[in-house]
Amino acid sequence: MKPKVFIARPIPSEVEAYIADHCTCEKWTGASPITRNELLERLKDAEGLLITGEKIDDELLDHAPNLKAVSNISVGYNNFDLDAMKRRNIIGTNTPDVLNETVADLALALILSTARRIPELDKLVKDGKWEDQDDEPLFGVDVHGKTLGIIGMGRIGEAIGRRAKFGFNMTIQYHNRHRKPESEKLLDADYVSMEELLQTSDFVLLMVPFTEGTKHLIGKEQFALMKNSAIFINTSRGQTVDENALIQALQNQKILAAGLDVFDQEPVSPDNPLLKLPNVVTLPHIGSATYQTRFDMAMLAAKNLVAAVTGKQPPNIVQELKSGIKI
Ligand SMILES: NC(=O)c1ccc[n+]([C@@H]2O[C@H](COP(=O)([O-])OP(=O)(O)OC[C@H]3O[C@@H](n4cnc5c(N)ncnc54)[C@H](O)[C@@H]3O)[C@@H](O)[C@H]2O)c1
Ligand SMILES: O=C(O)[C@H](O)CO
């Protein structure tokens, strides 16, 4: 008998067909995203679950007595309660690498958009406010030749560094849990302390996972160390930044600007002060959102899921759950 899986997110038909070749599939077909309660109700028989970021904790696992594996269609897995999953030998997988270049493209787009004030000036033109006058009020700052400080020199951090170094002749420095000699060689990058990075970078870019150790990694103290001309970019998770401290830093011109793909609360509340500041470029968490990359992520997540529920080694079990899992 084929293992039963529940697909909680819309996925391309080709990916669904691949899963259906190996598993009995049930899927969420509602017009809006599945709610927590609806998800809990659908898990009674499921041995596998395909999701994007839904919280996997004791409450959910209590509703899923047959569950063996949860496959995330994302590289970040801060939605996994790793202890709860470990206690029940649940396999958890993610989708690394296939999205690196796409997310890196978006990070560069945020760097350029903030430095050259692209959304603000686009609005000015479309609002008919482009006047024949001295254009100094439209000036921005250069990107080429400046110093980019990357906090979190992982797979995506390095892809961003490559673009910045070889596309824009930027100087790269980074801070990471561990030194990355390969990245240092490739990017001619300096490993520096967090303090030095914050004090000397023109652009500070955050690309760490959200864990207990990175919650509010950047807060009041860190913004205080940055240059007044610094531009802050967050493409990691909203919770890695103390958002109130960021708002203060921008309102008090402690830093020049910010480019944000991620927020503490998503979707961001329309009342969030960040949305009222002209020197902030905002995006709705779309780092990996191109047709090709989202297809590749869904297919990789499907391969992880099928392998896990059919007793094979999935290609991408998350690091913390690797030991102790019996395939
Ligand atoms: N905006 C988006 O759409 C989007 C897309 C993809 C990934 N992400 C986020 O980016 C994260 C990184 O993805 P990745 O594939 O590059 O992961 P990765 O594991 O390859 O890289 C993360 C790096 O951060 C470092 N790190 C961890 N804690 C740190 C700390 N306290 N200080 C300094 N460095 C630290 C790690 O050592 C690692 O080198 C994901 O976990 C996800 O949350 C966001
Ligand atoms: O972690 C990821 O893969 C991105 O944030 C998309 O969810």
Residue 327 lies in a domain: no
pLDDT in tens, 212-240: 999 999 999 999 999 999 999 999 999 99
Enumerate residues 6+ apart whose C-beta is below 8 A from 100.
155, 156, 159
- Nearest to 234, CA basis, from 285, 278, 165, 166: 285
* Share in percent of the chain as helix, strand, coil (round to 5): 40, 15, 45
User: Has residue 326 got a pLDDT over 70?
Assistant: no
pLDDT in tens, 62-106: 999 999 999 999 999 999 999 999 999 999 999 999 999 999 999
Phi/psi for 93 (5° steps) reads: -130, 160
Is there a single domain that holds both residue 59 and residue 179? Answer: no
Question: Does 285 qualify as catalytic in the annotation?
Answer: yes
Domain limits for position 178 = 100-282
The answer to whether the Cα torsion of 5, 11, 15, 16 is positive or negative is: positive
Question: What was the pLDDT predicted at 134?
Answer: 84
Q: ipTM of this model?
A: 0.99
- Nearest to 73, CA basis, from 90, 96, 89, 55: 96
Is there a single domain that holds both residue 205 and residue 61? Answer: no
The residue annotated as part of the active site, out of 22, 237, 243, 294, is 237
101 CA distance to ligand 1 centroid (A)? 14
Question: Does 237 qualify as catalytic in the annotation?
Answer: yes
C-alpha to C-alpha distance for 235 and 205, rounded to whole angstroms: 8
Identify the CATH number of the domain in which residue 307 sits. Answer: 3.40.50.720
The residue annotated as part of the active site, out of 9, 163, 216, 285, is 285
Is there a single domain that holds both residue 57 and residue 172? Answer: no
Residue 128 lies in a domain: yes
Domain count of the chain? 2
Residue 42 lies in a domain: yes
Is there a single domain that holds both residue 48 and residue 16? Answer: yes
166 CA distance to ligand 1 centroid (A)? 22
Which residue among 55, 99, 155, 283 has the greatest number of ligand 2 atoms within 8 angstroms of its CB, and so is best to mutate?
Answer: 99
Is there a single domain that holds both residue 314 and residue 192? Answer: no
Is there a single domain that holds both residue 225 and residue 252? Answer: yes
Q: Is the minimum distance from the CB of 93 to ligand 1 under 6 angstroms? A: no
pLDDT in tens, 253-299: 999 999 999 999 999 999 999 999 999 999 999 999 999 999 999 99
pTM over 0.90: yes
Is there a single domain that holds both residue 52 and residue 198? Answer: no
How far apart, in Å, are the Cα atoms of 195 and each of 96, 198, 218, 224? 29, 5, 11, 10
Is there a single domain that holds both residue 117 and residue 258? Answer: yes
208 CA distance to ligand 1 centroid (A)? 3
Is there a single domain that holds both residue 272 and residue 314? Answer: no
Is there a single domain that holds both residue 83 and residue 106? Answer: no
Is there a single domain that holds both residue 123 and residue 135? Answer: yes
Q: Is the minimum distance from the CB of 156 to ligand 1 under 6 angstroms? A: yes
Question: Does 144 qualify as catalytic in the annotation?
Answer: no
